[in-house]
Amino acid sequence: MPAPSRFDQIAERVERLLVRHEEVQRTNALLQDQVNALTRERDALKSRLGAARQRLDALLEQLPADPTQDSSASR
């Protein structure tokens, strides 16, 4: 069997590179999907955190400013 010509070697290498490029593109698309999902999850958690902070702030505003006032009022 004769040795492959320089052109055949280059063509084979190009084919391997194209296959590898397609694999990298698929991997990149999967990673981008994961990034998008994590971004949505992060945004949802930030929203929940903000809502929880607002509820806590509202509860804290209902507490008496001076703790001794609360105990003396109950006597």
> Which region among 15-24, 30-39, 45-54, 60-69 has the lowest average model confidence (pLDDT)?
60-69
For 20-30, b/e burial (b = at least 16 CB within 10 A) is eeeeeeeeeee
Quote the pLDDT of residue 71. Answer: 58
When the pLDDT of each residue in the chain is averaged and rounded to a whole number, the result is 92
Amino acid (1-letter code) at residue 66 = D
Question: Tokens at residue 22, please?
Answer: 């397609």
Q: How far apart are CA 60 and CA 67, in angstroms?
A: 12
